[in-house]
Amino acid sequence: MATSLTLCNDNISASINTFGAELINLNRLDKENVLWSMDATFWNRTAPNLFPIVGKLKNNNYHISGSDFTMTQHGFARDQMFDVLEQLNTSVTFLLKSNKETWKNYPFDFEFKVKYLLQGSVLKIEYSTRNLGDSPMPYSVGGHPGFQIQKNISNYSLLFPDGINTLTRHLLEDSCFSGETEDLIVEGGLKLNEELFERDAIVIKLPSFDQLTLVDETNSALLTVQSDNWEAIGIWTKKDAPFICIEPWWGFADSKNTSGNFFQKDGIHILQPGQTETVSYSILVHE
């Protein structure tokens, strides 16, 4: 049975569910939750962890050495029960290991850890993936936190570091990359509106920035998402939904012309036997 665990320091608190190791609450102690409150009318998640794929496979299918496998968008970790490996007042580590159910869709032995750590007003989320098998293991990983907005999305903007004036957006068609791109002018901030998401998420591959900040119409900073090594950023919402997702990724969806060979998938990481890879991102909750 799923349970939730709460971390707390003098600045912020966070609650995480053992189902999916999913963050379900993030609060500055004297303010409301900055995550959106789950409402299946719009989206039945709050901040799922994406593993062992990010995004969608073409036809939800891939092949390895002549064998075909099926996996739905963003992988299966978000729908698995995790074990609690270690819990302290300000940190907790969750563990998912391969099992007979995961083998049906992903024929590899793995250990996937998700760690949450409070540091002042920052929540750090760390993903650690280990190949327990005796052959190379392809995988991707990412986060998908949704942040609540109190007003229409047009009242919010995303701010990028100084010197970032234009970004190249990779366009999606049926949740796979079409091969088309468009430029977004972000000097002074990217003002959000629903039209931006009519063609699905905004995806920036190999971002040249290490953080972005969500601000309201008064230019007050609400939160900052940061990573030193992300390989893509997804920004997503649904029509009339009271949230905006800022998603750090290490990997991304298939392109429309993919061969389906999992080892040749765009953005894939390959772990050698016994190898562990760790990546992370953080959420700063502003005053």
Residues 113-130 have a mean pLDDT of 98
pLDDT given at position 134? 97
Distances (CA, A) of 124 to 29, 91, 264: 17, 9, 31
Give the residue among 285, 42, 244 at the shortest CA–CA distance from 154. Answer: 244
pLDDT surpassing 90 at residue 137: yes
Residue 104 DSSP code: H
pLDDT digits (tens, 9 = 90+) for 220-251: 999 999 999 999 999 999 999 999 999 999 99
Phi-psi region of 134 (alpha: psi -120 to 50; beta: other; left: phi over 0): alpha
The model's pTM: 0.97
Helix count and strand count (H, E) for the chain: 1, 24
Give the residue among 236, 279, 268, 240 at the shortest CA–CA distance from 45. Answer: 236
Q: How many other C-beta atoms lie within 10 A of the C-beta of residue 77?
A: 24
pLDDT surpassing 90 at residue 278: yes
pLDDT given at position 15? 97
Q: What value does the mean pLDDT of the chain take?
A: 96
Residue type present at position 32: E
DSSP string, 211-262: EEEEE-TT--EEEEEE-SS-SEEEEE--TT-SEEEEEEEES-PPBTT---BG
The CA-to-CA distance between both ends of the chain, in Å, stands at: 35
Residue 1's SS3 state is: coil
Do the Cβ atoms of 161 and 190 come closer than 8 Å?
Answer: no
Residues 174-192 have a mean pLDDT of 95
Confidence of residue 29 (pLDDT cuts 50, 70, 90): confident
Residue 76's SS3 state is: coil
Distances (CA, A) of 138 to 116, 133, 135, 240, 262: 24, 12, 10, 37, 7
Domain limits, the chain: 4-285
Residue whose entry in the numeric block shows the structure tokens 């092949």: 63
CATH number of 4-285: 2.70.98.10
pLDDT surpassing 90 at residue 287: no
Residues 152-173 have a mean pLDDT of 96
Give the residue among 122, 114, 59, 54 at the shortest CA–CA distance from 87. Answer: 114
